[in-house]
Chains A and B, each alone.
Chain A
Amino acid sequence: GAVVSQHPSWVICKSGTSVKIECRSLDFQATTMFWYRQFPKQSLMLMATSNEGSKATYEQGVEKDKFLINHASLTLSTLTVTSAHPEDSSFYICSARRTGGFTEAFFGQGTRLTVV
């Protein structure tokens, strides 16, 4: 199957700093990528939809200025957590679909963010 790679797999940062997480589709082009957040023992919650070449669409309750999303190419989307605080500590997961309306979503391996 298609591969979606996230980097880094885990990161620890100090409170008040910013952290960037990359999501790459390695062997296909993805017009649309999605960013999810998952707290321990909970389900995935969609944060935003990232569209190549346009602004991301955020779900209700997600702060746009805090979670900056950039989809600069058909294979790369980035999520930047700005001015991170301990409550932002979570597991962040991206997913991507092949351009052309294919149904299956491929997920990255996730990024564990810990803010201290």
Chain B
Amino acid sequence: QQQVKQSPQSLIVQKGGISIINCAYENTAFDYFPWYQQFPGKGPALLIAIRPDVSEKKEGRFTISFNKSAKQFSLHIMDSQPGDSATYFCAAESTGDYKLSFGAGTTVTVRA
């Protein structure tokens, strides 16, 4: 049973466009929400993370929007580049547990 639901499964975006990936969770004990980027044959790498006390966090072209009441969070990739083509996973964790629950993943393809 997946504790974090992620959509869409895949998306294609033109270079310079915006990629949006959505995640939802049920466990209100979750208080740390990271996003990971994974290239084929590699381990995931942390992209950006947020805690529930803020509604938005931006790092470069990557922005997390967080809606605590709706138990949803999303990743926006602005000005998408071909190098952004990868699989993106949202995840959630509760303090002290240190166990990450991953979403199913979204494969992003950026067309030049």
- A residues within 8 Å of B by Cβ? 1, 4, 6, 32, 34, 41-46, 49, 91, 93, 95, 97, 103-110, 112
Contact = CB atoms under 8 A, between A and B. Distances in A.
B41 A110 contact: yes
A104 B49 contact: yes
A108 B42 CA distance: 8
Most B Cβ at <10 Å: residue of A45, A49, A105, A108: A105
Interface in B64-112: 89, 93, 98-100, 102-105, 107
Interface residues of B, number: 21
B44 interface: yes
A64 to B, nearest CB: 17
Query: How would you classify the secondary structure of chain A's contact residues: helix, strand, loop or mixed?
Result: strand
B60 interface: no
Contacts of A109: 42-43
8 contacts: A6-B43, A41-B107, A43-B103, A44-B89, A45-B102, A93-B44, A104-B34, A105-B46
Contacts of B41: 91, 110, 112
B32 interface: yes
Interface string B41-63: 11111100100000000000000
B8 to A, nearest CB: 14
A105 to B, nearest CB: 6
Nearest to A105: B100
A112 B107 CA distance: 20
Given A4-B43, A105-B98, 10 more contacts: A32-B98, A42-B104, A44-B100, A93-B43, A95-B100, A97-B98, A104-B49, A107-B44, A108-B43, A109-B42
A7 to B, nearest CB: 13
B85 to A, nearest CB: 15
A41 B100 CA distance: 18
Contacts of A32: 98
Nearest to A106: B46
Nearest to A32: B98
B34 to A, nearest CB: 8
